[in-house]
Amino acid sequence: MSDQATDQKVETDRATKFDIKHWVVIYIHEFLEVFISILIIRIAMDKQIDMYKIIQASAAIGFITFILENYNSDFKSNIKQGITFSVGSQMMSSFMN
């Protein structure tokens, strides 16, 4: 194998490792964003905090938003705005009762 082919293979391997690391970091960011949001909502609504269920929900929703962000970031933004509006409405109605 020539030096140029070897250099190209090494560069491809580095790019692949960077891509995987990049995707993992993005997923972790999405997971933490959802986890914190759910935790804040549960605390604000004075609901029981079941960490196992919150982690499961965060993993699932984080994966969905991870896919949506890579598909269409505007779509993800619209979903987040809808969730925020729904949660805000529920919180306000629970405080009014």
Residue 5 has pLDDT above 60, yes or no: no
Whose CA is closest to 83, among 28, 36, 38? 38
For 6-15, the pLDDT digits (tens) are: 556 555 555 5
User: 39-83, pLDDT tens digit by residue?
Assistant: 887 887 777 888 999 899 889 988 888 887 777 666 666 766 776
**Tokens linked to 50:** 């079941």
Task: Read off the pTM.
Answer: 0.64
Q: How many distinct structural domains can be found in the chain?
A: 1
Domain range holding 63? Answer: 3-96
Q: In terms of Cα–Cα distance, which of 18, 6, 58 is closest to 36?
A: 58
Q: Which of 34, 27, 30 is nearest to 54 (CA)?
A: 34
